[in-house]
């Protein structure tokens, strides 16, 4: 990926990013739980061993719900 940093013309729409509760970064997409917990793709993959046991759902560390992976 070469376009990690966009120079100039960076558009930021409010409400289109989510803050990852794990690394604190803002991302256009985060996995979110109904309790408000959000985690980015990178952190989810890093913590996959602890957050998903089957690759179909991930486990929210905040409220202990399971959430679906994949298309929602
Ligand atoms: Zn993260
Ligand atoms: Zn939750």
List pLDDT tens digits, range 7-56.
Answer: 555 555 566 899 999 999 999 999 999 999 999 999 999 998 889 878 89
Which class for 32: exposed (0-12), middle (13-18), buried (19 or more C-beta within 10 A)? middle
Residue 68 pLDDT class (50, 70, 90 cuts): very high
* pLDDT value of residue 1: 58
Contacts 24+ apart (CB under 8 A), 16-24: 21/62, 22/47
Q: Which of 4, 6, 35 is CA-nearest to residue 21? A: 35
Q: Give the pairing type, strands 57-59 and 38-40.
A: unpaired
Ligand 1 center to 51 CA (angstroms): 13
In this model, does residue 3 exceed pLDDT 70?
no
Ligand 1 center to 67 CA (angstroms): 17
Q: Which of 58, 62, 53 is CA-nearest to residue 70? A: 58
Ligand 2 center to 11 CA (angstroms): 30
Q: Which ligand is nearest to the CA of 32?
A: 2
Ligand 2 center to 20 CA (angstroms): 13
* pLDDT value of residue 22: 95
* pLDDT value of residue 54: 83
């Amino acid at each position: 990926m070469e376009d990690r940093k966009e120079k100039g013309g960076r558009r930021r729409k409010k409400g289109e990013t989510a803050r990852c509760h794990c690394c604190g970064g803002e991302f256009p997409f985060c996995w979110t739980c109904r309790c408000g917990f959000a985690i980015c793709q990178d952190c989810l993959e890093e913590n996959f061993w602890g957050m998903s046991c089957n690759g179909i759902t991930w486990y929210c560390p905040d409220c202990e719900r399971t959430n679906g992976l994949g298309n929602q």
